[in-house]
Each structure stands twice: as C-alpha cells, then as structure tokens.
Chains A and B, each alone.
Chain A
Amino acid sequence: MKKRFLSLHQDIFKVIAGIALSALLGGCVDQDPDPEEYGPSPTLPKPQRGLLPNMTIAEPTPWKDQLPTVPSGFTVAAIATDLKVPRQTLVLPNGDILIAEGKGGHAPALKPKDIIAGYIKAKGTTPVKGGNRLTLLRDADGDGTYELQTVFAENLDAPYGLALVGNNLYVANQDSLVRFDYREGQTQASSPPTKITDLPSEINHHWTKSLAASADGRFLYVGIGSNSNITERGMVAEANRAMIWEIDAETGAHRPYATGLRNPTALTIQPNTGTLWAVVNERDEIGPNLVPDYLTSVQEGGFYGWPYSYWGQNVDERVRPQDPQKVASAIAPDYALGSHVAALGVDFSESSMGEEFADGVFVGQHGSWNRKNPVGYKVVFIPFRDGRPAGAPIDFVTGFRDENGKTRGRPVGVTVDPKGALIVADDLANVIWRVARSTNE
C-alpha cells in the first residue's frame, strides 16, 4: 500500500500537468483518421481518453421517401413499418418472417455519469416503447410485398434471439430461454411458451440474449453480454456474464461454451462445418480506434480476454484486480470489424444471393457513439474463402445517415432469406428492410 502511494506521489506533477493540458486542449487533440482497422490483425493504437469521452450522437431524422443504398442488382423495400423496436428476425421454412421486438435492461445509474450519459445516448434511439412480442410477416403470393403483418406472440420479456429446430421455435428473452410449439403456416402461437432455462438477467447492462441452434438441433447457444463496459459495476456483477452458454435443448442443462466475450450480440452456425460464429462488441472509452468489435469462430472452452485483456493479450489497465494468468490464456479473435461499429447482426450468405455475395457473412452495424466521426450505421458483407474471412468488408446496405449527419435508421439483425434476399431490422425507424436480388427482371 505504502509503495503504491509513493509512486502516486512521484507521478503527481506529471499527472496534473497532463490533465491541465488535456483539459485545455479538450477534444481538439483527438484525431480519428478512420484507419482501415478491419481484418485478422488490426493495428491497435495506445489506449487514450481525455477528461470527456468522445461522443457523437446522431440526431434521428425520418426516412421520408428515401431508401437505403444497396448494390446494383439489388432492390430494397420496407416490408414492415410501425414496429416496436425490431431487433432480430428469423425466416421460417414457408418464407414467413418472425421479428423479435423489445427493449430490455434494468441497469440502475450508479454514478452521476450514468444519468448524464444515459440521457445523451437515449437521444440516438427510438422513443417507441419495446413491443415485447414477436410479429409475423407473410408474403403469400411471393411478390415481395408482405401483405400480412400480425402479432405472433406477446407478453414476452425483451425477446431477441430466435431459432427454429423442427417444430420447436426457441426465443431468448432477456431473462429466460423459452420454446413455442410451431407448426408451419401458423400466424399465431397456439399456446404460451415453455421455459427451458432462466438466463442471467440481474442488472442486464447488456441485455440482448443472442441465440443459435447447433446443426443437429441438440444444443442451443446463447450469448450473454457483460454487465458493464469494463467492470465498473463490480466483479460480482459479472458472474455468468460475457460468455456463450451451451444449453441442452431437451433438459435446459447448461455450461459455459466460451468466455471472455464482452457482448456476443449475434450468433450463427456456419453451413457445412457446423462451427459456431459470433459477432462481439468490445469495450469503449479508450480511444476512437480501440477496441475493434469482431467476428470470430467460437472455440469451445476458449477465453477471449474480457475484462482483463483485449485482442489477445493487450492488458486493459482499468481492471482491478488484474489476472495475468487469464491474460496469458486469452485468444485473439478471427476478424476485426472496426472499433465502435456495434455489430448486432450476423448471418451466413448462400448462393441465392448471387455470385459476388454467395460466400461470406453479412454483418449489421448499429453504429458508434464513442467516436467523433461516427462509424458503422450500415450492413457489410465479409467475403469468405475456404471457410475463413478473406478480404475487406464490402458495403452492402448504406445510407442510414443522411448528408447532414443525421441518422435515419440503425441496422440490427440481418437474416438471409433463401429466396435471395437479406432481411435487415432497423430499430430506429422501426422498419424491416428487404434487400432482394433483382436479377430476373
């Protein structure tokens, strides 16, 4: 203890001078030149933070007659509007689309900062109250217009992850994993859901419970986000957090499948290999270009660093007590998507999406707050070769921010429709976008 204070003393003048300087210069010294930070081995700058975190909250503005921008050979249309905070979608075998709508979390404000930051961040989201329901869309005649929009199930608790295995429709609420009996053609659930298991939901700072079913349907994977940015709610709050659970679909028995994943916001199974992939949102407030959000195959038993380190063994000094042993065991993820892009959706493509977009994943990026120059706010395509990411992300759906820097929409879940379309949930405009191939015209 004494030693620590001695060293504190030595640093005193350096620290005061440094703080006075950064207070004087404010945000001016902060340049974020948007380096190309994607790929398997991103350049990581030194952590930095001024007295105030960099924040740009883009003011919402309606789409009006505007549409998102899509690649040539594709058309885009809003197939559902006036939803109540749509997050993730699921394309059912008969082509119907299920939408999970809701807004969760009940993290109390612990510091004056939480009240101020919460107020500022809320300006960049929809004022609509979460629906806590599933909505079903149907396009009976296959013309691309979904003429039926009806409530499939309600009174859920911030539903997010969706998966269908045979006749079992699984829904990950913010506090529990439940199962509906589903028969093809249903437009409304025939009975209330059965609970498979409770999910960690205390505080729920990161409340979204992402979901994927193993290829054989025996296991369900649920992504559980951390209860803080970087342990500022205490270590105790992080029990059973920042990990992916493997849950036996029959019994509800569960175990951690992989840990140290700060906020695994979307999961998907790779066709052919059956490997579990995830997009994960990394920590904020150590600079505009730290820490990259990522796409990774998930290794069973793997530890991915949070909270002790990021991108492998880069120690995060904000965490006390430290854990060098855990840091040593941390594995670096596969592919950086860029810092603060807030990846919230991922799905593997298929051949129906056309040659250029046949092999790879689509990633929905909700967009940044902790950055002067906003990033994300789009859907990208990461090309794959031999089952691994290969090459730079390609913009697939853009135009979510207008030329004045206002935000029209924010993409969340992305789902590939086998008919040759990408379904994108927009939780700011409360719309579902369908980006379809227009080849046969």
Chain B
Amino acid sequence: MAVASDRTGLWVLHPIHGVLLASTIPLFLGALLSDYAYTSSYEIQWSNFASWLIFGGLVFGGIALVLSIIRLIKSPQRSGLSFIYPFLLLLTWIFGFINSLIHAKDAWATMPEGIIFSIIVVLLACASTWIGFAKFGVGGIR
C-alpha cells in the first residue's frame, strides 16, 4: 500500500489516496463558488449545487481521512508530521460536515454562515492536500 520515501523516510501516498485527497479542493472550491453565485444572483439552483459539491467533498475526503488514519496506525515510524496530516483532514471533514448541515437549511437561511464555512473548508482542504503532496509525495505503484 505504501513505500518508504527517500526524501523523508515517511511513506508516500498511494495514488488513489492522492486522487481522493486532491479531489477535495475542486469539490469544496466548487461549493464556495456556487455559494458566491447564489449570494450575488439569489438563484436557488446555485445553493443546490453547493449542497451536492459539499456532499461529494465529504464522501471523497472521508475516504481519504480513513486511509490517512490507517496509514498512521500502520506507519513504522511516526513524526509530528504524520499526525498533522490526518488531523487536518479530520478538521476539514468536521467543518465540511457542519457546512453541509448549514446548507441543508432553506433558501437564504444558509447565509451568511454557508459561505463563511465554505471559505474555511477550502482553506483546510488546501492545507491537507499541500501537506499530503509536498511532505509525503504520491507514488510507489508501477
């Protein structure tokens, strides 16, 4: 499932893990852009799009979260970095979940909390993905 990285001595991410992790950015970013479109047009369909994009982010991000925890448990050597990564992902998922509940409200009741949380979740998703890719890298499969 994972191979020791030459750079850090930590395991690199499996490509599927990497894809799931990276997908949280476009999904949560799409939700944020949809929220923006809703606030500027009051066109309800954007709010529906945001709800589903958040849902998608939670599904993919949730699997990445589970993989990251398994990886942490199985890892032969643990540094601070190996804890930060699943922790950030967990934080992304929790805020994403709260955001999905906010988006389940009717019409403008989703605002302004909805767009504020969408911003936070995008930032958290970027941070998680950055750590995952920059610190561990992806590969190990041929």
Residue positions of A touching B, CB distance < 8 A: 1, 4, 8, 11-12, 15-16, 19, 23, 49, 51-52, 110-113, 228-235, 285, 317-321
Contact = CB atoms under 8 A, between A and B. Distances in A.
Interface in B88-142: 98, 100-109, 112-113, 115-117, 120
Contacts of A4: 39
Contact of B113 (A19, A231, A285, A320): A19
B52 A112 contact: yes
B87 interface: no
Pairs of residues from A and B, 6 with the lowest C-beta to C-beta distance, nearest first: A113-B104, A232-B106, A234-B44, A111-B51, A318-B109, A320-B42
B103 to A, nearest CB: 7
Contacts, number: 72
Contacts of B42: 320-321
Nearest to B103: A111
B interface: dominant SS: helix
A23 B98 contact: yes
Contact of A8 (B44, B108, B115): B115
B95 to A, nearest CB: 10
Given A1-B40, A234-B45, A320-B42, A49 B113 contact: no
Contacts of A233: 44
B106 A318 contact: yes
A49 B40 CA distance: 24
A111 B107 contact: no
Contacts of B103: 111, 113
Contacts of B51: 111-113
Contacts of B113: 15, 19
B55 interface: yes
Given A112-B51, A231-B107, 6 more contacts: A15-B113, A232-B47, A233-B44, A318-B105, A318-B107, A318-B109
A319 to B, nearest CB: 6
Main DSSP-derived SS at the A contact region = loop
A113 B52 CA distance: 10
Given A110-B48, A112-B55, A233-B44, A15 B108 contact: no
B102 A19 contact: yes
Contacts of A11: 112, 116
Of A112, A317, A319, most B-chain CB atoms within 10 Å: A112
A232 B112 contact: no
25 contacts: A1-B40, A4-B39, A11-B112, A16-B120, A19-B98, A19-B113, A23-B98, A49-B109, A51-B98, A111-B48, A112-B52, A113-B103, A113-B104, A228-B106, A229-B106, A233-B44, A234-B44, A234-B45, A285-B105, A317-B108, A318-B107, A318-B109, A319-B108, A320-B107, A320-B108
B44 A317 contact: no
Contacts of B108: 317-320
Contact of B104 (A15, A112, A235): A112
Contacts of A319: 107-108
Contacts of A111: 48, 51-52, 103-104
A15 B119 CA distance: 13
Interface in B36-73: 39-40, 42-45, 47-48, 51-52, 55
Of the candidates A1, A49, A113, A285, the one having the most CB atoms from chain B within 10 angstroms of its own CB is: A113
Nearest to A7: B112
Nearest to B51: A111
B98 A234 contact: no
Nearest to B44: A234
Given A111-B52, A232-B44, A321-B42, A12 B116 contact: yes
Contacts of B102: 19, 51
Interface string B2-42: 00000000000000000000000000000000000001101
Nearest to B120: A16
Nearest to A9: B116
B57 to A, nearest CB: 12
A25 to B, nearest CB: 14
Contacts of A16: 116, 120
A379 B44 CA distance: 37
B41 to A, nearest CB: 10
